[in-house]
Structure 1
Amino acid sequence: MSDHLALAHQYMDGVASGAVPACKWTRLAVDRQLADLARPISTDWPWTFDAQRAVRPCEFIELLPHIKGKWAREGRLIELVGWQCFILTTVFGWVHRDTGLRRFREVYIEVPRKNAKSTLSSGVALYMLTADGEHGAEVYSAATTRDQARIVFDDARGMAERSPGLRYHCGLAIMQHSLTVAQTSSKFAPLAAEGSTLDGLNVHFAVIDELHAHKTRAVYDVIDTARGAREQSLLWNITTAGTDRSGICYERRTHVTKVLGGVVDDPALFGVVYTLDEADDPFDRAAWAKANPNWGVSVLPDDMEAAARKAEAMPSALNNFLTKRLDVWVSGESPWMDMRAWDKCGAPALRDLSAFAGRPAWIGLDLAQKKDFAAASLVFQDDDGRWCVCTRLYLNELAIQESGNAHLAGWARQGYVSVTDGDLTDFDVVADDLRQLCRDFDVQEIAFDPALSMYFAGKLIEEGLPLVEIQQRSMFFTQPLLQIENMVLEGLLRHDANPVMAWMVSNLVVKVSKFNELRAPTKERPENKIDGPIAMLMALGRALAAQPAGDLDDYLASFAPAPA
């Protein structure tokens, strides 16, 4: 049997030294554990590492058989590798010095497919059902659909059927839709949002599988709130990357990265993300092991090579390769913007517009009254001649309350969205901001769509504001879509790092005409708002069109690398 603590420390030392390929978030997760192990017990740090409890789930899982593929045919038992021992010993090893209760109450593991995350999770679920010492334990595999919920459950059931010791020594009863232990009144069952009220739960352990596929936060919230009566319940989230940055998965991922980055202190949360670093080329074979900790074990180089060739040859396969094989979050099924490049262009200092007062500027205006945002995007050039984008977003309080975006209320509290009273967005607030911007800047034009805002615009035109009608058609949008994308990829644009705007940019997809290659911005679902980017496209479209052709060419050429 393996020395699981030695394997865990060998893995951590390899990550820390660079011998084991790892991304930023994996390195930070390892650094966190190494730092915690070095901390002395104090009033602020009541946790101690219990080596015996750390290895118990590892020892248990290695007594379970493989149930699929070659290793199942050969009758082999599960053999844990370093990264799995690191996770298990960290999660189960930390206990309170006085009560002996576990420190970690929630786990978030983000890792690509084929890294045996369902096998690991099934083993942990069986351990929590039969060997954790909890009476009346309720263990669930939860998902949005019953088929998805059964993946982890069916794997655990298959392991149990091939493990007579669980029946003879633990009294485990195996049924089609549940596993039970009569002597402790414990049970394990799949749990799906469909066909179930999800009420009346008393959760000791729950696996939420493929969290990125959850379109609402209902399952997560029900499971999370159903753990209150348990002293050391554990919520185990496993997922690959996805496309929905407004959902519960990306919310939890964001929280995990803040904890790993030291921005937020949450000692009850364990999280690790296996992905690429921002600068990595997804087709660089040397980077693939960063995202796939089971590289060479269950993730085979030949299979990855085949998937990469398909992604390179077929653009429609690229997003699937990025999300499922490399755990890279993408913007949508047919994304406009490379979000990693967009994030690199963020400049929070732009939020203080007073430093740029008096400059020539253009404004794009996209208005909506009920569930969509109103947006005003200001663009101007800085001292280096780079185009800068600052976007103000407005939404009424009812729309925020009813929104399915898990982040929106927090963004509003942080001031990234201007909230107006009632159930309609107050255009007077927008008008006041436009008047102030015109006083602070030399505003050349305010581009607006007359289909949505003619009456509103008429009042401002009477006041002398320079409003210009823009029909939101592909003939206008094609050039701004191409130019802004290129500017972002080249690092020639700056924006004010508003996370709501980033979410909207990630939602925007481009529809290309088959007849004339004209492009139009659109969104895949009504909840994927794109009002801010539309305002930006209008503003920068007019600003770039106002530049003499030679000026724009010279501007782009000035940033080109000098010839070797």
Structure 2
Amino acid sequence: MTAFPNVGIANRWAKQVVSGKIPACKWVRLACKRHLDDLIKSKNKDFPYKFEPKLAEKKIAFIELLPHTKGEWAMKRLSITLEPWQKFGIGCTFGWVRKKDGYRRFRESYWEVPRKNGKSAIAAGVALNMFANDGEFGSEVYAGATTEKQAWEVFKPARLMAVRSPDFIEAAGVLINAGSLEIPDEGSIFEPIIGDPPDGQSPHCAVVDEFHEHPTSALYDTMQTGMGARRQPMIFTITTAGFNIEGPCYDLRARVQEMLLDTVPDDELFGWIWTIDEGDDWTDPAVLAKANPNYGVSVYSDYLESQQRRAIQNASKQGAFKTKHLNVWVSAKSAFFNMEKWKACGNPDLNIDDFEATPCMMCVDLSSKIDIAARINLFYRIEDDGRLHYYCIDPQFYLPEDTVYSGDEKQVVERYQKWFNKGLLNVCDGYENDLNQIAKELIEDAQRVSLTEVPYDEWGGFQIAKTVDDAGYTSIKMPKTTKTFSPAMKELEAAIAAGRFHHDGNPILSWMIGNVISKTGKNETEFPDKEKKFKKIDGAVALLMGISRAMVLAGEPTGDEFYDDPIMVGV
């Protein structure tokens, strides 16, 4: 028998998910694939992380020593038995470490799991683990929520687990109080915390329960900023879906999705989302197991099917059923472009110098002086397969220095700074983008390519159009209408799916493409939009303007893989 049986169970489960033998949505598959891929990468000396099965096994084994506190298992005085999916989540969260010092890799762990799937027991076990079994002297652990009742949903079962585990109490020296657990000899404490806590805590672990109910990120931010003195802190978030897509939980969910899609890598974030896939029929009983990992264990099939039938028969119950039992954010819209296929179109070896004889457009979206501005270099040509191919190489993005370092949108300021430090952002001095700088650099780069046009948005690009025209190039004003964008969105979608679109993997453009949703109009027209203000799409808009013009300049195709009439489709 292997020395680490639970880790073996977790890894086998992950492989079965990736292979399709176990039903799971794409976010769970991607989480499993990331772990398995990283196990291979960790053999490379340049990869900064490694997986320590001993640490993962220790955390899993600790939780399985704790007693159940609810239901028939508690009545029978049984200890917790983690399911393979739970062993995987715990193992990943705590088993990955940094090679350079052995400290834990992940500082945030996000679990979005429907109701009745054992969330509270997992959260309580993690909290006790971090309180008394993580080697942290003077550990501070907090169960945070918006209300006292919700905070106790994690703390109460954890306290009861401790009360029913006398060996644990004695070994760790735990003092059980009415509203807290302490280890007096170390100064360690575990207690619930509510709402917007004052500064002063130094958390080793914060368990954030039902984050979807939090109207602001105040508690999360206070916990995170207080962790600076800890070597390997953890924010463990466990929640169902919700209705408020303007809230902090949905923002964190978006970060997890970007990380899993690898559009915005985040090496210190673990996360997964148990839900159904886009296109799944929510009324089909077959999808229940996909979204509910403890299907048939802690959440029974007859209960879920009865709830599903009630929702089908009563429209007023559909939103609650989808949200709480399928983890569907009912107010959310899906991304328009398939990001897995977009990623497959990436080729970092693409070089502008190899395309000097290929027609090129430099498309600019400059609609805001104080926000991100984009210039897309789009090459296009008919390849040997008789189809129109596109090549997007070395896109340029601009931001004012003030926005990078003092911007109001905290969700992206840190991201901007990382991109700037990597040389991916051009930062203009002061409070506004320097349009003269953008125009000057465009004209300089134009000398390297066969520039046909400079499409620009009618709401801002006119400010550099004269400079472009005076330099002997052709600027084209692009009206922001469905006539411009609907055919282009459908063509780009088809080109990505067919492998006719090629890009160099620029992470800013990839992020923006992933942020595009569609305003669908009559006659199935599409128009690019974003779900939230901080989800920028400027580069995607510039790219679509270029696609729109390329469709016109290339003429009508002979195949049926893109437009029939570049002017009339989508009108």
- Structure 2 residue 495 is matched with structure 1 residue 494: no
Counterpart-to-counterpart distance in 2, 1:526 and 1:45: 37
Alpha-carbon offset, residue 343 of structure 1:
2.5
1:438 counterpart (446, 457, 462): 446
| Aligned-pair Cα RMSD in Å | 5.1
From the superposition, tell whether residues 471 and 347 of structure 1 become closer, same or farther in structure 2 (CA, over 3 Å).
Answer: same
Counterpart-to-counterpart distance in 1, 2:41 and 2:491: 46
From the superposition, tell whether residues 282 and 424 of structure 1 become closer, same or farther in structure 2 (CA, over 3 Å).
Answer: same
- Structure 2 residue 345 is matched with structure 1 residue 339: no
Q: How does 1:82-121 map to 2 (within 5 A)?
A: 82-85=84-87, 88=90, 106=107, 108-110=109-111, 112-114=113-115, 115-121=117-123
From the superposition, tell whether residues 496 and 270 of structure 1 become closer, same or farther in structure 2 (CA, over 3 Å).
Answer: closer
Q: Which amino acid aligns with 1:442?
A: S
Q: How does 1:391-410 map to 2 (within 5 A)?
A: 391-401=395-405, 402=407, 403-404=409-410, 405=412, 406-410=414-418
C-alpha deviations, 1:228-248, integer Å up to 9, x for none?
Answer: 545665443446799899956
Stretches of structure 2 that go unaligned for 5 or more consecutive residues are 23-27, 565-571
Q: How does 1:235-384 map to 2 (within 5 A)?
A: 235-238=235-238, 271=270, 273=272, 293-298=293-298, 325=326, 333-350=333-350, 352-382=351-381, 383-384=383-384
Greater shift, 50-59 or 6-15, is seen at: 50-59
Does the 8 Å CA contact 1:507/1:530 hold for their aligned counterparts? yes
Alpha-carbon offset, residue 172 of structure 1:
1.4
Alpha-carbon offset, residue 137 of structure 1:
3.5
Task: Indicate the residue corresponding to 1:172 in structure 2.
Answer: 176
Task: Indicate the residue corresponding to 1:23 in structure 2.
Answer: 29
Stretches of structure 1 that go unaligned for 5 or more consecutive residues are 558-564
Counterpart-to-counterpart distance in 2, 1:554 and 1:370: 38
From the superposition, tell whether residues 551 and 161 of structure 1 become closer, same or farther in structure 2 (CA, over 3 Å).
Answer: same
Alpha-carbon offset, residue 287 of structure 1:
9.4
Does the 8 Å CA contact 1:206/1:236 hold for their aligned counterparts? yes
User: What is the SS of the residue equivalent to 1:482?
Assistant: helix
Q: Which amino acid aligns with 1:542?
A: R
Counterpart-to-counterpart distance in 2, 1:245 and 1:466: 46
Q: Which amino acid aligns with 2:346?
A: G
Does the 8 Å CA contact 2:64/2:80 hold for their aligned counterparts? no
Counterpart-to-counterpart distance in 1, 2:191 and 2:34: 34
Alpha-carbon offset, residue 467 of structure 1:
0.9
Counterpart-to-counterpart distance in 1, 2:305 and 2:496: 30
Task: Indicate the residue corresponding to 1:195 in structure 2.
Answer: 196
Counterpart-to-counterpart distance in 2, 1:337 and 1:95: 34
2:474 counterpart (445, 466, 472): 466
User: What is the SS of the residue equivalent to 1:386?
Assistant: strand
Task: Indicate the residue corresponding to 1:561 in structure 2.
Answer: none
Task: Indicate the residue corresponding to 1:429 in structure 2.
Answer: 437
Q: Which amino acid aligns with 1:82?
A: P
Does the 8 Å CA contact 1:362/1:446 hold for their aligned counterparts? yes
- Structure 2 residue 63 is matched with structure 1 residue 58: yes
Greater shift, 537-546 or 269-278, is seen at: 269-278
Does the 8 Å CA contact 1:110/1:272 hold for their aligned counterparts? yes
Task: Indicate the residue corresponding to 2:207 in structure 1.
Answer: 207
Does the 8 Å CA contact 2:367/2:457 hold for their aligned counterparts? no
Q: Which amino acid aligns with 2:529?
A: T
- Structure 2 residue 233 is matched with structure 1 residue 226: no
Counterpart-to-counterpart distance in 1, 2:508 and 2:119: 32
TM-score, reference length from structure 2? 0.71
- Structure 2 residue 385 is matched with structure 1 residue 386: no
Counterpart-to-counterpart distance in 1, 2:56 and 2:348: 45
Counterpart-to-counterpart distance in 2, 1:321 and 1:502: 29
Counterpart-to-counterpart distance in 2, 1:517 and 1:306: 35
Task: Indicate the residue corresponding to 2:517 in structure 1.
Answer: 509
Alpha-carbon offset, residue 78 of structure 1:
3.4
Does the 8 Å CA contact 2:110/2:272 hold for their aligned counterparts? yes
Does the 8 Å CA contact 1:397/1:423 hold for their aligned counterparts? yes
Q: Which amino acid aligns with 2:68?
A: L
User: What is the SS of the residue equivalent to 2:461?
Assistant: helix
2:550 counterpart (517, 539, 543): 543
From the superposition, tell whether residues 205 and 369 of structure 1 become closer, same or farther in structure 2 (CA, over 3 Å).
Answer: closer
2:125 counterpart (105, 123, 126): 123
Q: Which amino acid aligns with 2:107?
A: E
Counterpart-to-counterpart distance in 1, 2:260 and 2:357: 41
Greater shift, 4-13 or 541-550, is seen at: 4-13
Alpha-carbon offset, residue 463 of structure 1:
2.6
Q: Which amino acid aligns with 1:536?
A: L
- Structure 2 residue 567 is matched with structure 1 residue 521: no
Counterpart-to-counterpart distance in 2, 1:34 and 1:548: 47
Counterpart-to-counterpart distance in 2, 1:368 and 1:73: 64
Counterpart-to-counterpart distance in 1, 2:133 and 2:164: 12
How many pairs align? 521
Alpha-carbon offset, residue 354 of structure 1:
1.0
Counterpart-to-counterpart distance in 2, 1:120 and 1:297: 15
Alpha-carbon offset, residue 220 of structure 1:
5.3
C-alpha deviations, 1:447-505, integer Å up to 9, x for none?
Answer: 22344233431232233220122222233323223332333334332233222112222
Greater shift, 381-390 or 457-466, is seen at: 381-390
Q: Which amino acid aligns with 1:226?
A: G
Q: Percent identity?
A: 26
Counterpart-to-counterpart distance in 2, 1:336 and 1:491: 17
Counterpart-to-counterpart distance in 2, 1:537 and 1:489: 16
Alpha-carbon offset, residue 108 of structure 1:
2.6
C-alpha deviations, 1:293-327, integer Å up to 9, x for none?
Answer: 5344246667788999999xx9xx99x97998489
C-alpha deviations, 1:235-284, integer Å up to 9, x for none?
Answer: 434467998999566657777898xxxx99x8xx6946477999x98679
Counterpart-to-counterpart distance in 2, 1:47 and 1:285: 39
